[in-house]
Amino acid sequence: MHDVEPTESTSDVRKWYKRIPQLILFVGLGFFFVWLSLRHLNAEDRRTIMTVIGSVNTLKGWLMLGLAAFFALLADYFRALRGKILLQPLHYEVRTSMMFYSVMVCFMANLALPRLGEVLRCTFLQRYEKVPFQKSLGTVITERAVDIVFWLVMLVIAIMINTDLLNNLVVDADAGLTVRQWMEAKGLSLLGNHLLLMLLGVALLLALVLWMTRNWWKKNKFFLKIWHFCQGLWQGFISIKDVQRPWRYWFWTVMMWVAYFFGTYTFFFAMPCLTDVSPSAGYSVLIFGTIAFMVAQGGIGAYPLIVAGVLMLYGVDYTSGLAAGWVGWILQTVVSLAGGFVSLVLASFTRKRDSMVLTEN
């Protein structure tokens, strides 16, 4: 018998089969977070959650949710404009509408399977704009590198904003102890007062240890993967210098995050219990809430839990914060699903390009 060489389609099927355990893990984590957020709720807490969610069903509530959805779509539009800029040094001119559709399809697909959206986005551009898959995939990797670095900077700012609030959070209601008082009682006041300095010190110490042991970990497969990942992030980040007028790329990046902020903060006003929450709470929910989409598929379970924890720092009770988190998660999921579906429909009525459009050198 002759050996049958695996075809490209067979290879793709095997590749997706390998992703099944990853999908099970991320979905399982999501349901674990759902259980974690609901396990201690009594009947009164559940009624409170339903009351908060029900308070959205007003004219003002729906208007605020609609406005939040608009800002979310606006952020995705800015992301599309940014994506076009990265393709220009490669001499490809993509229609703005098709780039926007590809972004929306990407977010919709990522709800089903981790990283599936990035693959479909590149496939979409190859199908409708004749941009080679590998070329567009490289720009998507660059985008992700920039997003991670940008998010890390904003995470540091969010930690700085919330340090005092965290120190004053009551951890023992019976004794009236705050986090700062509890840490002082445990002899950890230095950490409480200089959290960022301590984190910086730990980071520097870790960097020193890694440098001193570089000959060992460079031979370790696990650490090699991490090293290559970090190298890829850095190479993607510095590749922005090849873009004509790179300030436009950074401008759309900033505008994208600004739109995401307004989308997050606006939906608070759909619920009467959150109308007095400060903009810094919206910023913190945006930044810390992003973690939920990293650890659970589509952020399910994790996003409401993180939102509840963040809003507690701003005086919102846990059940109301949890309800707000579910409203926010449902809104984002609906926007991603509806936006992706509508984009697929609109793209089907759009004429495909017969050949790629190249920009001048």
pLDDT of 291 > 80? The answer is: yes
Q: Which pLDDT band holds residue 192 (cuts at 50, 70, 90)?
A: very low
Helices (H), the chain: 8-38, 43-54, 59-87, 96-110, 116-129, 133-167, 179-185, 189-193, 195-212, 214-217, 221-238, 247-266, 279-295, 302-312, 318-348
Unique residue bearing structure tokens 């399977």: 113
Position with higher pLDDT, 80 vs 136: 80
- 358 located within any domain: no
The domain in which residue 69 lies consists of 28-35+42-348
C-alpha 119/C-alpha 130 separation (Å) is 15
Average pLDDT estimate for 178-200:
54
**pLDDT value at 65 more than 70:** yes
164 vs 79 pLDDT, higher one: 79
Q: Give the number of domains in the chain.
A: 1
In-domain check, residue 176: yes
Q: What is residue 5's predicted lDDT score, i.e. its pLDDT? A: 46
Report the largest interatomic distance among the alpha carbons of the chain, rounded to a whole angstrom.
79
Residue 173 domain-assigned (yes or no):
yes
pTM: 0.76
Mean per-residue pLDDT for 191-198? 55
Angle at 158 between CA 139 and CA 286, to 5 degrees: 60
Q: Does the residue 337 lie in any domain?
A: yes
Mean pLDDT of 95-112: 91
Output the pLDDT for position 142.
Answer: 83
Q: Please give the structure tokens belonging to residue 15.
A: 């590749």
Q: Is residue 353 part of a domain?
A: no
pLDDT of residue 218: 65
In a domain, 325, yes or no: yes
